[in-house]
Structure formats: structure tokens, C-alpha cells
């Protein structure tokens, strides 16, 4: 049941991130460029994921660090699958999709994914649910 609740929270995360991406493309990208807006978007997305984690961590009812880390890793894997599938459905090239993951060329997604992996654990600690 814990993992079903965590999956439901991930659905909220991905819906929020989809809206965030739409707004980023409509309002930020035309002003500062696509790649720079995606870099900024990673930082905003990470903050949104942490806020959602804070709001729903009690709902998930995970009781151990191991469960919280597993949930964070599951969110990362689900997000990666979603991002790649969406990118391909939108006919984005592999080069374009992978550009967000290349730290050496300014892609910040790996940092966002690492922070996402630890978001449930950090939220539980902030909310006082763990020692």
C-alpha cells in the first residue's frame, strides 16, 4: 500500500511537472532560449518535487529510510521513462533528449534526479517523521 500511495504522489508530481514544462516553454523559453530555460526548469522542478514531497509524505506512510530511498529511486526511474517516452512521442531527437543529461555541456537533469531520489527522505526528516 505504501508503494501505491507513492505512485499516486508521483502522478501528482508528473502532472505538476508537465504543467511546469508547458508554462516554461510558453513564457520562459522565448525570452531566454530553450536550453537555458530547461536548465532553470530543472531547479524549479526540483523545488516543486520537494514541496509535493513535503505535502504528501505523511500520506505515503513510509516508516523507514530504506522505504523512502526506494520510493525516491522509483520516482527517478518512472520520471526517466516518462521523459524519454514523451520526448519520443513529441518526435524529439535522441540528441535533444540526452542534452538535458550531459553535465559537461550544461545539462542539469542528473542533479535534479539525484535530488528527486532523496526528496522523500528529506521531506520525512523535515516533517519530523524520522530520527
Please report the pLDDT score of residue 114 as a whole number: 97
92 lies in some domain? yes
Would you tell me the crossing angle of helices 65-89 and 109-126 to the nearest 10 degrees?
A: 150
* Helix intervals (H) in the chain: 2-23, 29-32, 34-60, 65-89, 94-99, 109-126
Query: At a CB cut-off of 8 Å and minimum separation 6, what does 61 contact?
Result: 1, 2, 5
Q: What is the pLDDT of residues 52-77, one digit of tens each?
A: 999 999 999 998 999 999 999 999 99
Please report the pLDDT score of residue 130 as a whole number: 87
How many domains in the chain?
1
18 lies in some domain? yes
67 lies in some domain? yes
Q: What is the pLDDT of residues 9-54, one digit of tens each?
A: 999 999 999 999 999 999 999 999 999 999 999 999 999 999 999 9
Domain region containing 50: 2-126
Distance (Å, whole) CA 80 – CA 6? 16
55 lies in some domain? yes
11 lies in some domain? yes
131 lies in some domain? no
39 lies in some domain? yes
Amino acid at each position: 500500500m505504501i508503494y501505491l500511495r507513492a505512485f499516486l504522489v508521483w502522478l501528482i508530481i508528473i502532472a505538476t511537472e508537465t504543467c511546469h514544462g508547458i508554462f516554461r516553454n510558453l513564457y520562459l523559453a522565448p525570452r531566454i532560449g530553450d536550453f537555458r530555460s530547461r536548465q532553470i526548469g530543472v531547479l524549479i522542478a526540483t523545488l516543486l518535487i520537494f514541496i509535493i514531497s513535503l505535502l504528501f509524505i505523511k500520506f505515503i506512510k513510509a516508516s523507514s529510510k530504506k522505504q523512502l530511498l526506494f520510493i525516491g529511486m522509483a520516482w527517478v526511474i518512472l520520471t526517466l521513462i516518462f521523459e524519454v517516452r514523451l520526448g519520443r512521442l513529441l518526435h524529439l531527437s535522441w540528441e535533444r533528449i540526452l542534452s538535458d543529461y550531459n553535465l559537461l555541456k550544461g545539462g542539469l537533469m542528473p542533479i535534479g534526479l539525484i535530488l528527486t531520489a532523496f526528496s522523500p527522505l528529506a521531506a520525512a526528516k523535515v516533517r519530523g517523521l524520522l530520527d
